[in-house]
Amino acid sequence: MAPLLERLGMNVRPSDPLAKLSIAQRQMVEIAKALSLDARIIIMDEPTSSLTLKETDRLLEVIADLRRDGVSIIYISHRLDEVKTIADRVVALRDGQRVGELTGEDITHDAMIRLMIGRNLKSVYIPPAHAPRETGVEVDRLVTPAYPDREVSLTFRRGEILGLAGLIGSGRTELAHAIFGVDPAHSGRILLDGEEIAIHRPADAIARGIYLAPEDRKRAGLLLDLAIDQNITLADLRSYARHGLPDRAAERRAAEIQREALAIKTPTLATHAINLSGGNQQKVVLGKWLSMRPKAVIFDEPTRGIDVGAKSEIYAIMRRLADEGVAILMISSDMEEVIGVSDRIAVMHEGRISGFLERPQFTEHNVMLLAVGRPLEESVPENA
């Protein structure tokens, strides 16, 4: 196994416990397992959804080597740039049916989107209906367990979507966990609408109307073996209890409201969450929080593993929430997403906020400068 791990560029030992590895590392181990079988056909389902850019590049090199060795690869992905880079043929599915095929030079980003959603995808950015309020969630000199020597300060206001960008390991998810009380902060303050609040555990954040849609929805956002309606009402179960027992009829009524509002595609609310697509699973996570009147929602990688059509629906939901006065913090590693959806962007580097960008400053170059710890003034003029 060691040579396979080395081939994939992994700096881990075969004896390392899987539970101690990151999501990205576990993904690479799964790929190494497939390679160890000396298979002639390998199906890869969203293999890069949790990988860094470096890990993704290495995997694409491995796939190219396998193709040269005569191995057939079925590569399932919503990352269209990767598909364009490696695919000889592209087959698109929509609503469970094959809707078209592309080959050679016909494999373009726009052509794939047209097949996947049945239309041209309009500009992702939806401008806010109103100017953001001055109030919202203020994070003041917060120190997270991951970076005990760094302070983080930022504000995401009611009525805006603040994108939080940065490289893997920059501390974005750790900040979200501290705000939500998963890993309480060592020091600093959190203020909601100008009032300092104490958050020591998730229940404290939930009681204040601050909710988290986590990065790993299957492990931290859903109970996969429960029905949709049970997942939606789980965080507020006392509101659906009579004489200490869940009122199933009340649960179903509340879940039906969210199913219609979020367009959750399911034959019945009794369907278990594990049987839903990634996009519909994410909508169930959102339905759980939206049924509780949020004041602020943190979205950590909200569209990871979700198809293009479902992405646009998630973006529209986020904008609707912001327009209704909810403060939105969106953490994303997808550069196109963070630029296309955010009203403002904060960028983290090694546990600190390295800078903020307003929409006129939104470029991949500026985001990357801040992500690697360089100030914007070091940007080289285009005519230089």
Tokens for 147? 């970076």
Q: Minimal CA–CA distance to 306: which of 293, 295, 317?
A: 317
Does the residue 129 lie in any domain? Answer: no
The reply to whether 159 and 74 lie within a common domain is no
Statement to judge: residues 178 and 75 lie in one domain = no
Residue 224: phi and psi, rounded to 5, are: -65, -25
Q: Is residue 78 part of a domain?
A: yes
Range of the domain at 142: 136-378
Question: Who contacts 272 (Cβ-Cβ below 8 Å, separation ≥6)?
Answer: 224, 225, 226, 227, 228
pLDDT of residue 140 exceeding 90, the answer is yes
> Is residue 301 one of the residues assigned to a domain?
yes
Q: Are 187 and 178 a contacting pair, CB within 8 Å?
A: no
* pLDDT on residue 118: 66
Are 207 and 320 in the same domain? yes
On whether residue 195 sits in a domain, the answer given is yes
pLDDT in tens, 87-127: 999 998 876 789 899 999 999 877 887 787 665 545 578 89
350 and 261 share a domain? yes
pLDDT reading at 379 higher than 60:
no
Q: What confidence score (pLDDT) does residue 119 get?
A: 54
In a domain, 109, yes or no: no
344 is a domain residue: yes
Determine the average pLDDT of the residues in 25-38: 81
Same-domain status, 80 and 143: no
pLDDT number for residue 374: 83
> Is 185 a member of any domain?
yes
Query: Can you give the C-alpha Rg of the chain in angstroms?
Result: 22
Residue 32: pLDDT band (50, 70, 90) is confident
366 and 260, same structural domain? yes
Q: 276 with 372, same domain?
A: yes
Q: Do 80 and 157 have their domain in common?
A: no
Q: How far is the C-alpha of 154 from the C-alpha of 253, rounded, in Å? A: 38
Same domain, 6 and 67: yes
Of 299, 275, 267, 268, which Cα lies nearest the Cα of 285? Answer: 299
CB 289 within 8 A of CB 202: no
CATH of the domain at 308: 3.40.50.300
- Which whole-number Å values give the CA distances from 88 to 34, 45, 64, in the listed order? 21, 17, 11
Q: Is residue 10 part of a domain?
A: yes
Helices (H), the chain: 2-7, 23-36, 53-68, 80-86, 109-117, 172-180, 202-207, 228-233, 248-262, 278-290, 308-323, 335-341, 364-371
Give the pLDDT band (50/70/90) at residue 380: very low
Among 52-61, 184-193, 243-252, name the one with the lowest average pLDDT.
52-61
State the total domains in the chain: 2
* Over residues 362-384, mean pLDDT: 72
Spatial CA neighbour of 369 closest among 383, 357, 384, 351: 357
Listed ranges 91-95, 304-308, 323-327; the one with the highest mean pLDDT: 323-327
Alpha helices in 16-154 (DSSP H): 23-36, 53-68, 80-86, 109-117
How far apart CA 15 and CA 26 sit, in angstroms, is: 13
Residue 11, pLDDT above cutoff 50 = yes
DSSP-derived secondary structure letter, 361: G
